[in-house]
């Protein structure tokens, strides 16, 4: 294992210290916790809190700031944060009109965020939640009952963050979030695995000439392993799966996210986007928003994921384009 770290056991603490120092004009860390919160305050607006295990940077702390998350809770690598830390994030984020928890669908995350929700409600804070399960590759994979929550979660932060800034109520934002999740789907492919620092070896093995469709962001198994294909053929595979899942019609409006999984150069992400745009044109879809970048990673995994959102609400495209001030949304 070759990584630019000190002790594997200190990775989370040192990363969060470096992150908050780099962006101290935007956010702070609650001492001795994994909680990152924004310095920007807007009393009377709904607060959004998300988080999960670390190793997916810039998610989720990179999206804390004006127009997106109020706070993020960072657990150990690929490990859910504890309920007491999530509670601290809820308390620091609350601006008097409630908090929405945005939870990726992993058993530990769901359990711990729900426990924190109960604790916060006992302290008089109104808390609601939505669960993101956008990965259509497999169901009931490692750590998961049902579909996994992956890169689409970032677009949930973006759309609901804009809605909160616009002044929508907690119930309105929760309802929008649930509708959004129903119209969002993601699928990915890996060409090399991730290595957790404290484990010191890759989470799975791929031969030099192999790739795997549907690998999860913690290295969970996908649905098919085969010889590596050109970008165009990978794009056809992913678009075909998404078309089946959405059952789209010509003229439907969509948003697109091409997401790098950690070790995929932007060069390759843009090549994939070029191949993708030709396929979407052939399908005669209307693409109202598109983004490329490594937003939900898996440490040093090489690969990409493709997220599509059916824009059933015309406001969603505007919300995706709404200006924000965060470390990672550019």
Q: Where do the domains of the chain lie?
A: 12-182, 184-321
Single pTM value for the model:
0.97
Q: What pLDDT is attached to residue 139?
A: 83
Q: Which of 23, 56, 60, 253 is catalytic?
A: 56
CATH of domain 12-182: 3.40.50.10440
What is the rounded average pLDDT of the residues 231-254? 98
Q: What pLDDT is attached to residue 42?
A: 84
Reduced to 3 states, what is the DSSP secondary structure of residue 76? strand
User: Residue 140 pLDDT > 90, yes or no?
Assistant: no
Q: What pLDDT is attached to residue 168?
A: 98
Where helices occur in 167-265 by DSSP H, the ranges are 170-182, 231-246
Q: What pLDDT is attached to residue 61?
A: 98
Tokens of 286: 């209307």
**CA 235 from chain center: how many Å?**
21
- Which CATH entry fits the domain spanning 184-321: 3.30.1180.20, 3.40.50.410, 3.30.360.10, 2.10.50.10? 3.30.1180.20
Q: Left (φ > 0), alpha (ψ -120 to 50) or beta: where does 146 sit? A: left
Q: What pLDDT is attached to residue 1?
A: 86
Percent of the chain whose predicted confidence (pLDDT) is above 90:
95
Q: What pLDDT is attached to residue 316?
A: 98
C-alpha gyration radius of the chain? 19
Question: What whole-number distance in Å separates Cα of residue 268 and Cα of residue 92?
Answer: 39
What is the rounded average pLDDT of the residues 285-303? 98
For residue 56, indicate whether it is catalytic: yes
What is the rounded average pLDDT of the residues 93-110? 97
Question: What whole-number distance in Å separates Cα of residue 245 and Cα of residue 24?
Answer: 42
What is the rounded average pLDDT of the residues 265-283? 98
184-321 has the same fold as 12-182: no
Q: Which of 23, 60, 157, 218 is catalytic?
A: 218
């Amino acid at each position: 294992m070759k990584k630019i770290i000190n002790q594997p056991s200190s990775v989370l603490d040192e990363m969060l210290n470096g992150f908050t120092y780099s962006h101290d004009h935007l956010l702070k860390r609650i001492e001795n916790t994994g909680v990152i919160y924004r310095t920007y305050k807007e009393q009377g607006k709904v607060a959004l809190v998300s988080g999960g295990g670390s190793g997916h940077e810039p998610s989720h702390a990179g999206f804390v700031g004006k127009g997106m998350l109020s706070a993020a809770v960072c657990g150990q690598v690929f490990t859910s944060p504890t309920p007491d830390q999530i509670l601290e994030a809820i308390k620091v984020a609350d601006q008097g009109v409630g908090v929405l928890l945005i939870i990726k669908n992993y058993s530990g995350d769901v359990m711990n965020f729900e426990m924190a929700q109960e604790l916060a409600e006992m302290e008089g804070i109104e808390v609601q939640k939505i669960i993101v399960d956008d990965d259509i590759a497999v169901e009931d994979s490692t750590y998961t009952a049902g579909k996994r929550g992956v890169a689409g979660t970032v677009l949930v932060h973006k759309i609901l963050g804009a809605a909160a800034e616009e002044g929508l109520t907690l119930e309105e934002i929760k309802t929008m979030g649930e509708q959004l999740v129903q119209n969002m789907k993601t699928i990915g492919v890996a060409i090399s695995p991730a290595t957790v620092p404290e484990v010191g070896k890759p989470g799975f093995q791929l031969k030099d000439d192999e790739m795997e469709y549907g690998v999860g962001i913690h290295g969970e198994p996908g649905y098919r392993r085969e010889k590596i294909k050109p970008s165009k053929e990978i794009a056809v595979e992913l678009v075909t799966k998404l078309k089946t899942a959405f059952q789209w019609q010509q003229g439907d409006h969509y948003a697109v996210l091409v997401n790098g999984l950690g070790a995929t150069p932007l060069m390759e992400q843009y090549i994939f986007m070029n191949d993708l745009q030709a396929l979407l044109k052939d399908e005669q879809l209307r693409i109202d928003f598109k983004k490329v970048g490594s937003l939900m990673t898996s440490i040093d995994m090489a690969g990409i994921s493709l997220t599509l959102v059916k824009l059933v609400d015309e406001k969603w495209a505007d919300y995706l384009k709404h200006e924000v001030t965060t470390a990672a949304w550019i």
